[in-house]
Amino acid sequence: MASSLWRLALAAAMCGALLSSSPAAAAAKKTGRITVYWGQTAAEGRLREACGSGLYSTVIISFLTGFGGGRYKLDLAGHDWGAVGPDVKYCQSRKVLVLLSIGGGIGRYSLASKSDAKAVADHLWDFYLGGHSKSRPFGDAVLDGVDFDIELGRPAHYDDLARYLKAYSGRKPGGKKVWLTAAPQCPFPDRMLGEALRTGVFDRVHVQFYNNPACNYRASNVAAFTAAWRKWTSRLPRSSVYLGLPAAAGAANNGYIPPPALVGKVLPIVQRSRNYGGVMLWSRYWDRRTGYSKKIKHAV
């Protein structure tokens, strides 16, 4: 009887070990990670408030709307730049990553050559990351990395920019890495960032499953949504892939998913992927109005 019980226990342990390493078991591990964009309206409150909410693991400051050809423009839509630096340090003290997003849907930016990409990388390093400049917008605060939200212009040389920025890893104070993230559109491959993403240097990819009816989630489009998600996660095995969504119906033209549908129908699909990373929301302003992240965080 004792030996039979021992064999049963051993079999159960072996089965448990197999299950724990299976894709299904991996999918059951929720990340709890929510990334949010901040910076495009003063009505969303300070960066410090976003990080102090306990809702987000990453906050992305948006946007550097102008770059390339030696011209640069930071647009924080009414926010006080002087307050951002201390707030960045506060966020980091709470283990929240803070990145700067370059690009966006409004602005003038492009990379004319490989040397232009190098110049932009150097600018980002000296003005926002671990380098030195007399005119750093956020003072001595050192951001954790850069987000690529490239929606305008031409796709050329963003792969070069990504490699140059990643090469700065280890040169930050304390030898920390430079985090790289991207926000491509859900049709694969993304027209603007496809080549850059093929470098494999991006830590996280926040795929925008909104404003793209072909691959947005809705009851009549589940198969197309699932196929798009699986393509992104399978083609980017070295990156954590996030489900990018609007935090309110008014935050995008289409693609909004009510919290109950997200929790009950969508997250069970995306969490099957080993490199599922969490959820990205546009934006802090809309999330503050709707409380979207509070309603989904337990399931993310």
- Residues annotated catalytic, as ranges: 151
Calculated CA dihedral for residues 242, 46, 133, 182, nearest 10 degrees: 10
Of 50, 36, 96, 101, nearest to 280 by C-alpha is 36
Distance CA 209, CA 243 (A): 7
Distance CA 182, CA 261 (A): 26
Can you list the positions of beta strands (E) in the chain? 34-38, 58-67, 73-74, 97-104, 108-109, 145-150, 179-182, 204-208, 240-246, 276-282
The kind and range of the H/E element at 48 are: helix 47-52
Extract the tokens encoding 2: 């004792």
State how far the alpha carbon of 59 is from the alpha carbons of 56, 91, 249, in Å: 7, 9, 21
| Residue 146 near residue 124, CB atoms below 8 Å | yes
Distance CA 166, CA 121 (A): 9
Of 38, 78, 43, 34, nearest to 61 by C-alpha is 38
| Residue 182 near residue 195, CB atoms below 8 Å | no
Distance CA 106, CA 124 (A): 19
